[in-house]
Structure 1
Amino acid sequence: MLGMSNGVIERRSIDVVPDSERHGTPISQFTLWFGANMQVTAVVDGALAVVFGADALWAIIGLLIGNVLGGIVMALHSAQGPRLGLPQMISSRAQFGVYGAVVPLVLVVVMYLGFAATGTVLAGQAVNKILHVDDAAIGIIVFGVLTAVVATLGYRWIHRLGRIATVCGVIGFTYLGIRLLVTVDVGALFGAKPFTWATFLLAISLGAGWQLTFGPYVADYSRYLPRDTPERTTFLATFLGSVIGSQWSMTLGALVAAGGAGFLANQVGYLGSLAGPSAVGVLIYLVIVIGKLAVNCLNAYGGSMTILTTVSAFTRTAAFRPAVRAAYTSAFLLVSVLIAIFASADFLDNFKNFVLVLLMVFTPWSAINLTDYYLISRERVDVPALYDPAGRYGGWNLVALGSYFLGIAAQIPFLAQKLYTGPLTDKLGGADISWLVGLTLTAAVYYPLARRTTTPPEQMIYP
């Protein structure tokens, strides 16, 4: 099996995937991202829009707008994969420098841990329902082991899991939707609350934030596609898979939050009870586990890639053996499992704040990466220089780092967080538009400065 060690375990890490090992079609991007978004955490994310005050109808519309806007940014990152043949975050060295890229890399690791831990809490509840046990730690540990196995096997197996998750998600979530229609007067849920801009913009932010936080690792899963794969095709397959899958899940979440009295207290248990007979409930719990396993493998695989990229900046290593990647993946998952065991209280409130905090950190990174790749470098990257701090991109790029921190700082007055609400947020009625400020301002500042200081190659340079 090309690109694999011993025919099973992927042998590539942060090195370039050569043309001889490229395989697959863009449809794999659709099934991967559709399956990864047909899962319970996306349901919770959609429910948050209603929990924090939006009417169900306006919440669904706002979530759709956010998913589309964020999905465009996310899919533009995915389109980089076939051309570069690299994991997503190592390409950040072309903007930030070999050492400077460590700054967003470390924050990406924190993001991976947060999503892995919070998702494992919900998946662990579903595992416990299937096994009929009460100890939360058992379900969390079992789920962590399952994630470790698939993430260690690597790229091909993660895509296979995405196809399984797509089929299971469509069947399971369609059934839950039908059950909701026959048990709840869905029509009565629309218009139950007055429209307010603050809650509508919050719904948009939740949808956009969900998509934007995929940006730092989406190219990890498109880098094996043949180099001549059209960028438009990769973009559309990723965009449609992620937006349709997430919107489907979030719509269900908004409806169950508006019409399900028991959902807030026990999200996983509510979906199981909505399924009806206990035997069918077990199947829904299995669908929940498969969906969460698909996205958690992305977290673990991408987390290990990001850690290896960080380490390689100082060791000058361009590739790592499968055993090393497996060790980093296992260590990452061990930490996420420990977090899941000891930090599962107040899940809904903590998750809402976690998503919005991540928005503040990653929208400036996306703005810089995409502005440089598509508008300044024009898809021309000196790949060998990404591994050499004495090369074209240097150790530190002060223009990118300055623009990045400015983009973060500019969002603070617009934040609507549990511990801090910005002064301009109050004037907007509590609406959080920090992600939009960070995205546009960072690009506006970085573009003219980078045009004067950046010297991209005349054409792509591969090893």
Structure 2
Amino acid sequence: MNRDATTDSTLSIERRTIEVVPDDERHGTPRSQLTLWFGANMQITAIVDGALAVVFGADAIWAIVGLLIGNVLGGIVMALHSAQGPRLGLPQMISSRAQFGIYGAVVPLVLVILMYLGFAATGTVLGGQAIGHILGSDDVAVGIVVFGVLTAVVAVTGYRLIHAVGRVASVVGIVGFTYLAIRLFTDYDVASFVGVKPFDVATFLLAISLGAGWQLTYGPYVADYSRYLPRTTSGRATFWCTLAGSVIGSSWSMTFGALVAAVAGDAFLDDQVGFIGSLAESTLVALLIYLVIVVGKLTVNCLNAYGGFMSILTTVTAFNGKTRASSTARAAYIVGFIAVSVLVALGASADFLSNFKNFVLVLLMVFTPWSAINLTDYYLVSRERVDVPALYDPHGRYGGWNVTALVCYVIGVVAQIPFLAQTLYTGPVTEMLGGADVSWIVGLVVTAAIYYPWARRTSNPPTTMIYPDGHAPAEATA
């Protein structure tokens, strides 16, 4: 195989953007997805997500069970997106043009960009706090800037380095979180804080939703990290490795979070980074724990920055007709995205960040109908057959706007409103359910049920996979 030398080094800067990854640049095995997604989920925000299930009233035991169920259900959806990567060799949101049209795909993309910007900003604050503790600085701004620079370096370097950081995060996460769990059980009588509340349907469903919602947010960029796998890579292997890594990592973190919330409550939520560091038995160990937090947040923040840049580029190229971007433009997009997230983190008060994060959580409702349409079309309607060159041509097979997908998308979003349970809005059906948010289930089921029969009559998938000239071996199109 004559692989381009520029792709061989972990530290070489990635050249590919929204175009198909050529076969001679494909590399790796599905196991890389396991370590990446495990490392990306071994981080403090996942701990907070698990803690919220207890804060909202669930007993720790039932919260842990509900979070696990939610992670598995949401993880299945997320991993089905990941399995598209090796076959298509494309970023996730470019492939969604097959359902929404070249211009139509921009509709969910705008909200996706806002959401990743919000996650990047709040993640930068947490990472900055940890770096501040390491540097011994009371000024969190210093840590935020340093963390932003680290994110930019890794995200600009690209795919290989992001995977390498994910592997490091997996190892330090296992060691660090195991140590923290031991310290938690040493410092607190954890057993006396669990199993003390009766089972409650509403809070149990809420825990499931927290776990599922966490996984669903990865959908729009998960294939970005599997698209470099060889085209012959088993979709099933990619699915299971992605699912295992993401679910095990998130469930581990959220279980720890639920237990921490049960024994510490507001002491943890008021200062998540500080409380985690306080579990260490010495200053040196505390510094190492802060380093674990930084590595975990760096992994997922790079995913947010990389996915945000890819979404912006997908939006821009829909209108300028380009099929790729230069390395300079690629770096500029990434640095610009990270700079905005750092500015938001620096200029935001604690109240603003809390409100902005609530706004971001409301935007989760845009993911479920998008996922339902993308997966239903790819696996059931098009049956894994895509006309890749047409994804860049508004006058081609997929056109500029796909009315079927866009109407179903809007219906899927609207259908969730009565079932929402967010800080900014609580739907009437949610109140009847005692506060349980099941909007993501409604979004998936309603959208898929409407889209499938309609798309079967209106879509025009190719009879075989169609790749750009020079990109597919003969057997790949058979």
Which category describes the TM-score, using the shorter chain as reference length? over 0.9
1:100 aligned partner: 104
1:211 aligned partner: 215
Give secondary structure in 2 for the equivalent of 1:394. coil
Two-structure CA RMSD over aligned residues (Å): 1.5
Give secondary structure in 1 for the equivalent of 2:269. coil
Does 1:120 find its partner at 2:124? yes
Give distance in 2, aligned partners of 1:225 and 1:289.
28
1:224 aligned partner: 228
Give distance in 1, aligned partners of 2:359 and 2:253.
19
1:323 aligned partner: 328
Deviates more, 1:348-357 or 1:82-91: 348-357
Q: In the TM superposition, what is the alpha-carbon distance from 1:172 to its structure 2 partner?
A: 0.3
1:289 aligned partner: 294
Does 1:57 find its partner at 2:61? yes
Does 1:143 find its partner at 2:147? yes
Select which of 56, 67, 77 maps to 2:81: 77
| Per-residue CA distance 1:231-281 (angstroms, 9 max, x = gap) | 110000000000000000001111111102521211000000012211100
Q: In the TM superposition, what is the alpha-carbon distance from 1:3 to its structure 2 partner?
A: 7.6
| Per-residue CA distance 1:188-236 (angstroms, 9 max, x = gap) | 1212223211111111111000000000000000000000100110000
Q: In the TM superposition, what is the alpha-carbon distance from 1:353 to its structure 2 partner?
A: 3.1
Q: In the TM superposition, what is the alpha-carbon distance from 1:349 to its structure 2 partner?
A: 5.5
| Per-residue CA distance 1:66-122 (angstroms, 9 max, x = gap) | 000000000000000000000000011000000000011111111110110111111
Does 1:417 find its partner at 2:384? no
Q: Which amino acid aligns with 1:2?
A: D
Give distance in 2, aligned partners of 1:53 and 1:89.
37
2:154–2:302 contact (8 Å) kept in structure 1:
yes
Q: In the TM superposition, what is the alpha-carbon distance from 1:302 to its structure 2 partner?
A: 1.1
1:435 aligned partner: 440
2:180 aligned partner: 176
Does 1:14 find its partner at 2:14? no
Q: In the TM superposition, what is the alpha-carbon distance from 1:350 to its structure 2 partner?
A: 4.3
1:45–1:352 contact (8 Å) kept in structure 2:
no
Give secondary structure in 2 for the equivalent of 1:216. coil
2:471 aligned partner: none
Give secondary structure in 2 for the equivalent of 1:10. coil
Q: In the TM superposition, what is the alpha-carbon distance from 1:345 to its structure 2 partner?
A: 1.3
Give distance in 2, aligned partners of 1:286 and 1:23.
30
Give secondary structure in 2 for the equivalent of 1:224. coil
Select which of 370, 374, 377 maps to 1:372: 377
2:473 aligned partner: none
2:119–2:360 contact (8 Å) kept in structure 1:
no
1:2 aligned partner: 4
2:7–2:25 contact (8 Å) kept in structure 1:
no
Deviates more, 1:240-249 or 1:253-262: 253-262
1:234-313 correspondence runs (5 A): 234-261=238-265, 262-313=267-318
Deviates more, 1:224-233 or 1:353-362: 353-362
2:39–2:296 contact (8 Å) kept in structure 1:
yes
Does 1:461 find its partner at 2:463? no
Q: In the TM superposition, what is the alpha-carbon distance from 1:39 to its structure 2 partner?
A: 0.4
Q: Which amino acid aligns with 1:203?
A: A
Q: Which amino acid aligns with 1:384?
A: P
Number of residues of Structure 1 aligned to a counterpart in Structure 2: 463
Give distance in 2, aligned partners of 1:181 and 1:110.
39
2:89–2:227 contact (8 Å) kept in structure 1:
yes
| Per-residue CA distance 1:429-448 (angstroms, 9 max, x = gap) | 11111110001000000000
Give distance in 2, aligned partners of 1:104 and 1:438.
14
Q: In the TM superposition, what is the alpha-carbon distance from 1:359 to its structure 2 partner?
A: 2.6
2:53–2:258 contact (8 Å) kept in structure 1:
yes
2:358–2:424 contact (8 Å) kept in structure 1:
no
Q: In the TM superposition, what is the alpha-carbon distance from 1:186 to its structure 2 partner?
A: 1.5
Give distance in 2, aligned partners of 1:356 and 1:436.
16
| Per-residue CA distance 1:167-195 (angstroms, 9 max, x = gap) | 00000000001111111112112122232
2:95 aligned partner: 91
| Unaligned stretches of 5+ residues in structure 1 | none
| Unaligned stretches of 5+ residues in structure 2 | 469-478
- TM-aligned CA distance change 1:388 to 1:59, over 3 Å: same
Select which of 396, 405, 429 maps to 2:401: 396
Give distance in 1, aligned partners of 2:19 and 2:159.
14
Deviates more, 1:417-426 or 1:388-397: 417-426
Give distance in 2, aligned partners of 1:350 and 1:253.
22
Give secondary structure in 2 for the equivalent of 1:455. coil
2:472 aligned partner: none
Q: Which amino acid aligns with 2:325?
A: F
Give secondary structure in 2 for the equivalent of 1:191. coil
Give distance in 1, aligned partners of 2:38 and 2:352.
24
2:156 aligned partner: 152
Give the TM-score normalised by structure 1. 0.98
Give distance in 2, aligned partners of 1:18 and 1:99.
25
Deviates more, 1:410-419 or 1:164-173: 410-419
Give secondary structure in 1 for the equivalent of 2:96. helix
Give distance in 2, aligned partners of 1:356 and 1:67.
16
Select which of 109, 112, 130 maps to 2:113: 109
- TM-aligned CA distance change 1:47 to 1:354, over 3 Å: farther
- TM-aligned CA distance change 1:36 to 1:334, over 3 Å: same
Give distance in 2, aligned partners of 1:388 and 1:207.
38
Q: Which amino acid aligns with 1:452?
A: R
Q: In the TM superposition, what is the alpha-carbon distance from 1:6 to its structure 2 partner?
A: 10
Q: Which amino acid aligns with 1:240?
A: A
Deviates more, 1:125-134 or 1:356-365: 356-365
Q: In the TM superposition, what is the alpha-carbon distance from 1:28 to its structure 2 partner?
A: 0.5
Give distance in 1, aligned partners of 2:244 and 2:176.
20
Give the TM-score normalised by structure 2. 0.95
Q: In the TM superposition, what is the alpha-carbon distance from 1:420 to its structure 2 partner?
A: 1.6
- TM-aligned CA distance change 1:147 to 1:458, over 3 Å: same
2:48–2:269 contact (8 Å) kept in structure 1:
no
Give distance in 2, aligned partners of 1:331 and 1:375.
38
Identity of aligned residues (%): 73
Give distance in 1, aligned partners of 2:7 and 2:329.
13
